[in-house]
Structure formats: C-alpha cells, structure tokens
Amino acid sequence: MHRPVHQTQIGTSGDRIFRKTKSCLRPWRTVGFACLMALSTAAAAVELDWVFSHEVPSANEVLVYYAYDSFDIPMDFDAELEKLAIRLSDNPKAKALIEGHTDDSGARGYNKRLSLERAEAITRRLVQQYAVNPDQIELIGFGEDRPREDAPEERPLNRRAVILVE
C-alpha cells in the first residue's frame, strides 16, 4: 500500500547546507516529520548527501485558508486553532509543523515570503494567545511550489496553511 510522504533531500553547496522537500509516494512507513527542521531550496547546484522520507499524518492535519495577498488569520478558524493549542498544551511531546502556501499570483519571491508570513501568523497566535511552547512548533513557507489545485478558478484553495501534528 502506498502512503503519501514528503521526501527530503539534504545536501551541500559550498559551505551551505540545503534541505529540499517534495511530495512523493513510498510503499513503506517512515519516520515522523520531526526530523524536518529549517527547510529551504537551493538556488545553486546542490550535491546530494542523503535522502529520507516521512509520512504525512492526514488524520492530524488542520487547514487554514487565507484571503488574497493576506496573512491575517480569518476568524472562521479560531475554534480549530484553539483545539490545536489545547492538544499541544496537553501533550508537551507533541510537535506541529506549519506549512504556509500561496497561489501562483504574483512574483515567486513575494509568494515565498507571504507563505512564511502565513505560517508565522499561526505560530504567533498559538504562542501569544494560547501559550503554546514555541519549541513544539516548526514552520516552513513553500510559496506557490505545492499547489493543492491547478485550475485558475481554484486558486483560493492554494492560499492556505497546513498544520501537521505528530
């Protein structure tokens, strides 16, 4: 049986270390996402050092959708974020990975920053409003690189943050 996973390539380019993530399918159970830390993509050539994969826990996923060109969290998602905060506070060993995403409107660099701002907005809300330990949260901004939908009329579904809880 194939399960959805993220595959992370870890390599070097000069004196910098890069981690590049992409979605893929693997027919085996793999380690959790806790091994994902500061992910980035390399602008220069990357010499591949090793690859690992991790399963995406679909049952432990929270989605937050955003308005165009915004990182303000809509009030519609307050209840979901509160449940998430309670879950993280009740289990200090639990971890959350917050992935920010955008549609493909606008410049690529701007979308990358906006996606990270979306992930940071959720982190701020969890830490400041609900007193979640920031050590339990990792975040990444994917920009427009991982669309949920490709059709132009479905762009609003790409303006999102995905919160994976382990």
The pLDDT tens digits of the residues spanning 121-160 come to 999 999 999 999 999 999 999 999 999 888 888 889 999 9
Query: Sheet containing 61-65: which strands, arranged edge to edge?
Result: 61-65, 160-165, 96-100, 137-141
Percent of the chain with pLDDT over 90: 58
What is the per-residue pLDDT for 123?
Answer: 97
Residue-range domains of the chain with CATH: 3-55 (no CATH), 58-165 (3.30.1330.60)
What is the per-residue pLDDT for 150?
Answer: 83
Distance, CA of 37 to CA of 34 (rounded, Å): 7
Per the model's pLDDT, the better-predicted residue between 30 and 15 turns out to be: 15
Burial-class residue 53 by CB neighbours within 10 Å (0-12, 13-18, 19+).
middle
**Residue 59 — very low, low, confident or very high, per pLDDT cuts 50/70/90?**
low
Distance, CA of 161 to CA of 98 (rounded, Å): 7
How confident is the model over 14-24, as a mean pLDDT? 42
Is 18:40 a contact under the CB 8 Å cutoff? Answer: yes
Checking if the pLDDT of 39 tops 90, the result is: no
Per the model's pLDDT, the better-predicted residue between 121 and 40 turns out to be: 121
Checking if the pLDDT of 32 tops 50, the result is: no
Checking if the pLDDT of 67 tops 90, the result is: yes
